[in-house]
Amino acid sequence: MENQILPELSTKIQGLFYLSESEAPLVIEKLGALPKEQLNAKIAELNTAAPEALISVKPDDFFEKILKSADPNDDIVLANANKFQELHTFLKGNFSGIQVTRIEDGVKVPIIITAFLPDNTCIALTTYAIES
């Protein structure tokens, strides 16, 4: 299953950028087989962050905000927002336990979208926002 979904996921994030005060690409990381209840601890460990710095965002709200904040007069920004919507649809159709986590501990805010394959393998799409 992973052999089919991950290449397609790679295609979905190619040229996709999280826009804030910077443009940050999304990167796929394999977190391996991981119990869902250990996910936040793993995210904190991988990012050398205090657990209380992890802020959970509802996935629907996260992706909706990207679309709503896109300038309708900027074709590039709008196309990027639409690619995020396509990514969200793909994630919902192929993964479970989708979670969006922000690590709010400075100007550079890591954003980690995690999801589980049917075999309980966890993948993370990592990016960041610059918020000064």
Whether 123 and 43 have beta carbons less than 8 Å apart is answered as no
Residue-wise DSSP of 69-130: HS-TT-HHHHHHHHHHHHHHHHHHHH-EEEEEEEE-SSSEEEEEEEEE-TTSEEEEEEEEEE
Give 2's pLDDT tier (boundaries 50, 70, 90). Answer: low
Tens digits of residue pLDDT in 76-113: 999 999 999 999 999 999 999 999 999 999 999 999 99
Give 4's pLDDT tier (boundaries 50, 70, 90). Answer: confident
CA atoms of 127 and 109, how far apart (whole Å): 9
Tokens found for residue 38: 């250990």
Q: Are strands 108-116 and 27-33 parallel, antiparallel or unpaired?
A: unpaired
Q: Looking at residue 1, what is its pLDDT?
A: 53
Is 65 strand, coil or helix?
A: helix
Tens digits of residue pLDDT in 27-85: 999 999 999 999 999 999 999 999 999 999 999 999 999 999 999 999 999 999 999 99
Whether 71 and 78 have beta carbons less than 8 Å apart is answered as yes
